[in-house]
């Protein structure tokens, strides 16, 4: 076995917590973690045996790989560029992998800023939700240098099942935008289909058995249709984050002249649901829009 690479993992939220947990079990890396909330870091250290750093500087200064998984553009800007951020402490020649779903503009900005410091950057948003992170089977969409991604794949594979190279820097984030646009459309269609079925008093078990094996089948139908019918909406990815992601999609569409009219409608419905107290309900709560706006 060669010399172990040093890894800093920044961000122990819903996704990052189990992702860093999988990484901690690999004997190929020396892992340090950092979280802005020390309580979350303390809880993580009880579940996994790796060093918890008290500052970003301590976490990243000797790291060959820096991995981030946070919430929004604003979080990444603070972590990287703030007075106590990591930009001045990164090791030249290191690789920075960002699993946050951010805007395309931020991915490009990070790539340019880090390149000026001699640091390689991969924008690598993930899909698969909390369950995918817990089970280590996430799908990763990566933008940047193919050679840098190849050098990072052994690390990324500790918590993912598929890693797909999308092209130059920013293309990973663009791929994730397509993913979110498609999910929004699927959930809107599934919501209306289920509401129609309920209005006609169809047997839901029989219905889902009939249509989930055909052309209407989707991950959302298989995993969420029954809970949507039962009005249960506590299964991971919160509306708050979908609104953030779809906002990036809509913003980017203004620069490529694509018409996201339907996506904008779903975005507005999610904002309406947040206004009615469903900020942290999962995205399948789109089913509630008609109930709450009669």
CA-CA distance, 210 to 204, in Å (whole number)?
10
Question: Quick one: pLDDT at residue 195?
Answer: 97
CA-CA distance, 243 to 270, in Å (whole number)?
7
Q: Which of 176, 264, 276, 294 is catalytic?
A: 176
Mean pLDDT, range 148-164, rounded to an integer = 97
**Residue-by-residue DSSP string for 198-224:** HHTT--HHHHHHHHTTSTT--HHHHHH
Q: Residue 212: how many CB atoms within 10 A of its CB?
A: 13
Q: What percent of the chain has pLDDT over 70?
A: 99
CA-CA distance, 225 to 95, in Å (whole number)?
40
Find, among 182, 65, 174, 66, the residue nearest to 125 by Cα: 174
Q: Residue 130: how many CB atoms within 10 A of its CB?
A: 17
- Domain spans of the chain, in order of start: 5-167, 174-292
Question: Quick one: pLDDT at residue 1?
Answer: 53
Question: Are 266 and 184 contacting, i.e. CB atoms less than 8 angstroms apart?
Answer: yes
pLDDT, tens digit, 9 for 90 and up, residues 245-257: 999 999 999 999 9
Domain 5-167 has CATH 3.30.420.10: no
CA-CA distance, 283 to 236, in Å (whole number)?
8
Mean pLDDT, range 203-216, rounded to an integer = 96
Active site residue 92: no
What does the CA dihedral 210, 212, 214, 220 come to, rounded to 10 degrees? Answer: 150
CA-CA distance, 142 to 35, in Å (whole number)?
24
- Over 60: is that where the pLDDT of 41 sits? yes
Q: β-strand 65-68 against 5-10: which pairing, if any?
A: parallel
Rounded to 5 degrees, what angle do the CA atoms 251, 149, 179 make? 35
Domain 174-292 has CATH 3.40.980.10: no
For 262, phi then psi, to 5°, come to -65, -40
Let me know if the fold of 5-167 is the same as that of 174-292. no
CA-CA distance, 173 to 234, in Å (whole number)?
26
Given pLDDT bands bounded at 50, 70 and 90, which one contains residue 3? confident
Question: Are 13 and 70 contacting, i.e. CB atoms less than 8 angstroms apart?
Answer: yes
| Conformation bin of residue 143: beta by default, left when phi > 0, alpha when psi is -120 to 50 | beta
**pTM to 2 decimal places:** 0.94
Question: Quick one: pLDDT at residue 293?
Answer: 86
32-36, 182-186, 290-294: which has the minimum mean pLDDT?
Answer: 290-294
């Amino acid at each position: 076995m060669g010399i172990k690479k040093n890894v800093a993992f920044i961000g122990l939220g819903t996704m990052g917590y189990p992702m860093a947990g999988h990484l901690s079990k690999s004997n190929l890396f020396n892992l340090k973690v950092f979280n802005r909330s020390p309580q979350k870091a303390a809880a993580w250290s009880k579940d996994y045996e790796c060093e918890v750093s008290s500052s970003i500087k301590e976490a990243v200064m000797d790291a060959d790989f820096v991995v981030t998984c946070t919430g929004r553009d604003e979080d990444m800007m603070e972590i990287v560029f703030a007075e106590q951020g990591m930009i001045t402490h990164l090791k030249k020649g290191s690789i920075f992998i960002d699993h946050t779903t951010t805007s395309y503009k931020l991915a490009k900005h990070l790539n340019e800023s880090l390149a000026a410091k001699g640091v390689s950057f991969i924008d690598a948003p993930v899909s698969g939700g909390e369950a995918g992170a817990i089970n280590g089977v996430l799908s990763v969409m990566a933008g940047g240098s193919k050679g840098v991604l190849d050098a990072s794949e052994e690390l990324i594979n500790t918590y993912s099942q598929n890693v797909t190279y999308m092209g130059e820097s920013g293309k990973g984030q663009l791929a994730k935008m397509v993913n979110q646009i498609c999910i929004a459309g699927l959930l809107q269609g599934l919501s209306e289909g289920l509401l129609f079925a309920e209005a006609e008093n169809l047997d839901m078990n029989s219905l889902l058995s009939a249509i989930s094996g055909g052309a209407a089948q989707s991950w959302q139908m298989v995993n969420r249709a029954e809970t949507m019918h039962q009005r249960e909406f506590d299964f991971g990815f919160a509306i708050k984050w979908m609104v953030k992601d779809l906002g990036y999609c809509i913003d980017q569409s203004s620069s490529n002249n694509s018409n996201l009219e339907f996506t904008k409608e779903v975005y507005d419905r999610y904002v309406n649901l947040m206004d009615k107290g469903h900020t942290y309900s999962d995205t399948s709560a789109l089913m509630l829009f008609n109930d709450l706006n009669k």
